[in-house]
Structure 1
């Protein structure tokens, strides 16, 4: 160290800049964002609503694209793939028209679940298969 700094020279104290004069990266980012945002609260609210209105269409666009890719991969060799519908859910391991049967059918990746709905005399809807 003696040869690099010379005789009698001391290295500078660390840190080179005092902590009070340095801005943290989060603080500088916050300042930049505040400079970009308008000062009017109404305008900020409108910008927020506009940004939030773009989220659902973007989400469903990418979700649908993934679904179409998955469908092409599984049924791409068939020109018109059939629609697989579970009547009353998956009744192989659960009672028909029960929530467990509906969940099992959806876990088996069926395209739709057909539910038999009846209305009781007091107006309550029931999932019930009448013969």
Structure 2
């Protein structure tokens, strides 16, 4: 009935799948136009320029990651800068008899940080060095 009285019914135009983006202001387009002027006209030169710019990404990435690398290296290998303390147990027992004056002297000549001595006291009050004696063993630094 509607088609007879008012004429044929008109269909609205179909909506586009991808509507056109709103154009930004002219200064942005002007900026791209200025940058486009500096690009070389040859496609090969443009490709080389693109490759040159892409080659700057890995050094920049690794430069930013360098701090993290140094932190990890310090955590794993920090003992190199601050070496552990070396203590000679009974003196230098590889070159002299353990707990002897020669072993103590050789250990001190080897520049160790400390020498561990097992000191015991006899019944008459004399101190002597005896390695791993059970009972009255004391460590003296």
TM-score scaled by structure 1?
A: 0.39
TM-score scaled by structure 2?
A: 0.37
Larger-gyration structure (1/2): 2
